[in-house]
Amino acid sequence: MEIGIDSFAAARLIDDHTGENNNARSMAELLERIEHADQAGLDVFGIGEHHRKEFLDSAPALILAAAAARTKRIRLTSAVTVLSAADPVRVFQNFATLDLISKGRAEMVVGRGSFIEAYPLFGLNLNDYNALFTEKIDLLLKIRESETITWMGKFREPLNEQAIYPRPVQDSIPIWLGVGGTPASFVRAGTLGLPLMVAIIGGETHRFRPLIDLYKQAGEKAGHAPDKLKVGLHSLGYVAESSEAAANEFYPGYAETFTRIGKERGWPPVTRAQFDAQRGKTGALLIGGPEEVAEKILRHSEALGGVSRLTFQMDNASLSQAKLLRSIELIGERVMPLLSTK
């Protein structure tokens, strides 16, 4: 199982007292965490894509390119690229360039995004939410397959024997399909034969097993080999020296973030009791000491029929840089060895 980190590049804005551009400091700290993850032996680091004041990840390929110059072995991916609101030609060019800079370490996770700001921002109609993604994933995969393509769709001008450059170091840049809980998305990933990245940020993880079975059935029906149908898991998580320390350090920022987002989406405010329940054996949160978290990852993998990759999302809880760096160290030094011996 590959283990990594995903980040949404949480913003810190301008300090009212000093005038310091804390966003610049936040970006510097993010690059430090990616470099630290590389040194700690983690397998992958992902950068999300949002177009909101509280995140700095509107251009993930740029962040990943900066990280590529500072790292040696860790794989670098989006998490996710909002493909519905992007030009697949430019997406491919950006990540092919990243692949050249990183010497073959680029990947991407593509999806439709969990926020909707990208649609009006780029002049798109939210009513075309599904049609946009269907067309654009088709084009992106064709570009990956062939240097020169002829293609026609509804939402952009056709391509006629058009060559697309640069080409990456890798023969085929890995493209994962990022999904939430929509059955049609799982079926789409299986039909296309793409590895699946499932974002589970709440509830009980084992409840996603029927959807993953649906993915594998769709892939088998489409004639894809089982080894192509990999499942990845993106979860909120944080590892500290002890379970109590992890919970007490993570909860305040977690509660503030999800209570704020909940106001937009009609969710009730987060309580400590709900948080602690999510930390239980079947809950989605991977928050605790190293042994506790390793055991829970293995339970989740077994419940879902096998997980090939797991990424922690930990920087949405307003934790200090020192705590985030130490958590990365604990994942590399203590969690990953426990997983490899099971």
CB atoms within 10 A of CB 258: 21
The pLDDT of residue 2 is above 80: yes
- pLDDT (0 to 100) of residue 263: 85
With residues binned 3-state (H G I as helix, E B as strand, rest as coil), the percentages for the chain, rounded to 5, are: 50, 20, 35
The answer to the question of residue 235 being in a domain is: no
Mean pLDDT of the 108-133 span: 91
Distance CA 112, CA 46 (A): 16
- Count of structural domains, the chain: 1
Pairing of β 159-163 and β 148-151: antiparallel
Per DSSP, the three-state class of 295 is: helix
pLDDT number for residue 17: 61
Given a cut of 80, is residue 342 above it in pLDDT? no
Asked if residue 15 has pLDDT above 60, the reply is no
SS3 state of residue 232: strand
240 lies in some domain: no
In this structure, the number of other CB atoms found within 10 A of the CB of residue 37 comes to 25
What is the structure's pLDDT at 335? Answer: 98
Q: What is the CATH number of the domain that holds 97?
A: 3.20.20.30
Q: Name the DSSP class of 283.
A: B
Indicate the burial class of 16 (C-beta count within 10 angstroms; 0-12, 13-18, 19 or more): exposed
Paired strand residues for 151: 159
Looking at the chain, how many residues does it have? 342
Q: Which residues contact 29 (CB under 8 A, 6 or more apart)?
A: 321
**C-alpha of 25 from chain center:** 22
Q: Which amino acid is at 228?
A: K
* Residue at 186 is within a domain: no
Q: Tell me the pLDDT tens digit for each residue of 80-120.
A: 999 999 999 999 999 999 999 999 999 999 998 778 899 99
The pLDDT value given to residue 48? 96
Residue 322 lies in a domain: no
Q: Is residue 250 part of a domain?
A: no
For the cut 80, the answer to whether the pLDDT of residue 18 exceeds it is no
User: What's residue 267's pLDDT?
Assistant: 84
Across the chain, what does the average pLDDT equal? 94
* Rounded Cα distance, 260 and 262, in Å: 5
Residue 300 resides in a domain: no
Q: Judge whether 314 lies within some domain.
A: no
Look at the pTM and tell me if it is higher than 0.85.
Answer: yes
Whole-number Cα distances in Å, 128 to 3, 125, 191, 264: 35, 6, 21, 22
- Mean per-residue pLDDT, 315-329: 93
Task: Give the pLDDT mean for 250-261.
Answer: 91
pLDDT at 199 > cutoff 80: yes
117-121, 170-174, 260-264: segment of lowest average pLDDT:
260-264
CA-wise closest residue to 202 among 248, 265, 154: 265
Task: Compute the distance between CA of residue 128 and CA of residue 76 in angstroms, rounded to an integer.
Answer: 30
Give me the residues paired with residue 311 across strands: 4, 234
Residue 5, token pair as written in the block: 């980190």
262 pLDDT exceeds 90? no
The verdict on residue 68 lying in a domain is yes
pLDDT attached to residue 287:
98
110 in Cβ contact with 78 (< 8 Å): yes
Give tens-digit pLDDT for 21-59.
689 999 999 999 999 999 999 999 999 999 998 899 999
What's residue 221's pLDDT? 97
Listing DSSP states for 220-258 in one string gives HHTT--GGG--EEEEEEEEE-SSHHHHHHHHHHHHHHHH
What is the DSSP track for 84-97?
GGS-HHHHHHHHHH
Mean pLDDT of the region 181-202:
95
H-helix or E-strand containing 312? strand 309-313
pLDDT for position 16:
55
- Residue matched to tokens 């011996």: 341
Whole-number Å distance between alpha carbons of 13 and 260 = 17
Give the range of the structural domain holding residue 151, as residue numbers without chain letter. 1-173
Here the tokens at position 273 are 């009791």
Rounded percentage of the chain residues whose pLDDT exceeds 70: 97
